[in-house]
């Protein structure tokens, strides 16, 4: 049976324990994702409390991190999503994504609507990828791909 969380506190506490275990065991997010058999972005988001894992993946993650059966069960519950609260983020990395949306959010909206019409980009039927690439001018660049299904609004 599928179960959903009412209060995000349990998943937040599990996220803290999982990240501590990840650090103690010195494993990467990619290694955890490989054990789970799912993408690194999905598994990372799940461990941080934003997705439910399938049973086999929850068991694999718990085994790798040394988490108990309660954690296996909790990793499978549908979470109360949202990790940024109501105020402007203070963490510099998260703030930069907030800043990107503040600067380019209306541009993205205008371009999506011009190209697709009145609708949204799904965060449910969605893929996210993060890659590190060399910058031709020196250093490195982050390439972040947001790949969501377009869902048109329908009159009713």
Q: pLDDT for 110-142, tens place per residue?
A: 899 999 999 999 999 999 999 999 999 999 999
Phi, psi of 64 (to 5 degrees): -65, -35
Active site residue 83: no
Percent of the chain residues topping a pLDDT of 70: 100
18 vs 154: which has the higher pLDDT = 18
CB 33 within 8 A of CB 54: no
Q: Which of 20, 24, 81, 122 is catalytic?
A: 122
pLDDT at 72: 98
Backbone φ/ψ region at 37: left (φ over 0), alpha (ψ -120 to 50), beta: left
Q: In whole angstroms, give the CA distance from residue 34 to residue 102.
A: 34
Q: Which of 24, 25, 96, 141 is catalytic?
A: 96
Active site residue 31: no
Q: In whole angstroms, give the CA distance from residue 45 to residue 12.
A: 12
Q: In whole angstroms, give the CA distance from residue 137 to residue 93.
A: 22
Active site residue 99: yes
pLDDT at 35: 98
Q: Which of 20, 25, 99, 141 is catalytic?
A: 99
Q: Is the pLDDT of residue 1 over 80?
A: no
Q: Is the pLDDT of residue 98 over 80?
A: yes
Q: What's the pTM?
A: 0.83
Phi, psi of 25 (to 5 degrees): -85, -5
pLDDT in tens, 57-76: 999 999 999 999 999 999 99
Q: In whole angstroms, give the CA distance from residue 75 to residue 80.
A: 12
pLDDT at 108: 92
Tokens of 2: 């599928």
């Amino acid at each position: 049976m599928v179960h959903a969380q009412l209060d995000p506190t349990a998943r937040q506490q599990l996220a803290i324990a999982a990240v501590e275990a990840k650090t103690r065991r010195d494993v990467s997010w990619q290694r955890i994702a490989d054990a789970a058999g799912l993408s690194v972005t999905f598994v990372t988001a799940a461990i941080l409390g934003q997705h439910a894992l399938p049973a086999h993946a929850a068991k694999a993650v718990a085994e790798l991190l040394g988490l108990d059966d309660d954690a296996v069960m909790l990793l499978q519950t549908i979470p109360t999503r949202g990790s940024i609260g109501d105020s402007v983020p203070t963490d510099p990395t998260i703030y930069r994504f907030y800043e990107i949306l503040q600067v380019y959010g209306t541009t993205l909206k205008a371009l999506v609507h011009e190209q697709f019409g009145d609708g949204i980009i799904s965060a449910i039927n969605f893929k996210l990828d993060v890659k590190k690439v060399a910058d031709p001018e020196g250093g490195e660049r982050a390439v972040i791909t947001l790949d969501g299904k377009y869902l048109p609004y329908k009159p009713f």
